Chain A
Amino acid sequence: MKRRTLLTAAAASALALGAAMPSFAQDPVKVGFIYVGPRNDGGWSQHHHEAAVDMAEHFGDAVELVEQETVPEGADAERVMTQMALSGVDIIFATSFGYMDPVINVASKFPNVKFEHATGYKTAENVGVYSARFYEGRAVEGYLAGNVTESNKIGYIGSFPIPEVIRGINSSFHHAKLVNPDVEMSVVWLNTWFDPAKEADAAQALIDNGIDVVLQHTDSTAPQITAQKAGNVYTFGQAADMAEFGPMPRISSIIDLWAPYYIERVQAVIDGTWESDNTWDGIGAGMVGIGEISSAVPADVKAGAEALRDGIAAGEIHPFTGPINKQDGSVWLAEGEVADDGTLAGMNFYIEGITGEIPQ
């Protein structure tokens, strides 16, 4: 509720300001957001929501924010976006992959409304797509995991076997292996983005199998709590910093930083310079944040991880730099070769050394 009251207070002051300066008042730009989950799900949707609120606060009375949560993908999404467009929004951010076709459909009917679709790949004149290179952050996590593990077993809680998740698995494993050739990785697929009880069970199962570093691609903090109970297990914050679990078990995190992008794109709408784009940004552009590396990590490892982070940010290091083989032993990247975005975008194979299969 704190956030809410803050918001109303901000809105009230904005109103007051607007009233005081009628001569400058112009129609605010109306920005719509739709979320696939509840806006306080503690994970994916919440981060988009918070970024949206930050964006609205940044612009004050120049922007009016409208939001809709728990929008199922498919027909419902199409209707919600159409209604938003009819209500006069200028730009809609659709924050889930499954909104892809609905976005394209609605966009074709409202050429004057701009659309931004997260994690999709279909663009149009008035549809841009944006996504984050989370695998860059995963590389840093993998580096830390490979260094801190004592059992040489790290675990990964996977949601759905899609390229986004598989990239993260490969990236973290590759970098763990670079610093620790003996490391093994177990992947547990849950087929859900968010199910705290199941995530807790999965973390427990991994820990019970001798794993002492748990990475997660699901959104709840349940694995953190499970690890905390178990004791000597390391975890990483996912989507949020989850700093309240530091310095142990959480030793670092990948943070979704959407606000700067939202501010930039809404500014473009205000300025009338908005154009369809295909943004895929990482640490360097500030879309992926690496949370504070905690005191549980030895100083030299911390320094190494930060160097890796900075190298990736500066564009000097590509997380997928050869030699890397595919799981079956065939060559994917030769010595020094870096992965191209096309392969990464559709990644559907494990790299060499990961056991298990990607569910089909």
Chain B
Amino acid sequence: MDAVLTTLKILIIGDSGVGKSSLLLRFTDDKFDPEQAATIGVDFKVKAITIDGNTVKLAIWDTAGQERFRTLTPSYYRGAQGVIFVYDTTQRETFTHLTTWLTEVETYSTKPAIVKMLVGNKIDKENRQVSREEGLKFARKHCMLFIEASAKTRDGVECAFEELVEKVIQTPGLWEAEDGRHGNVNIHSTNTGGYCQC
């Protein structure tokens, strides 16, 4: 087995009922539970994934979306290298609230280079209210990764997490500093050994 390169902290946020916990369950256990209870406070799951030959352990923090929990959950934002913003493509309100969530992350995140990903969930449902173009536009405006997904049909879920992790690994200074490891990443292995001249 590959040695674990690092442990990354990923955060999932968004309005209540947009399917944050379901996305996470689909990713970690490849399950969909219609009986998924509403999260209280924060919850937590771990999964190891291998990307480009680097095995990375993910500690994914799932948060409650209710307004009232919003003073409680941001404490757990600290140290996160990646954040997934989730909205419900069938509920416009959850999309318009994204700016609030962005502000939350900007205020409470401790890593300025944190990688942001936008996920439009529940594309399996019929009564879509937010188009893919709108999502794309929003993501572009705020320098985020974007994907539409369905936790129910598993569309886009795994891809979303993998993209995010890959981006985190490629972002310099985002994750190395924690344990002082540098340059072990296979992506950067095209390291030409020119001699130093001084």
A and B: interacting chains: no
Q: Which residues from chain B sit less than 8 Å from chain A, CB to CB?
A: none
Chain A residues at the B interface, C-beta cutoff of 8 Å: none
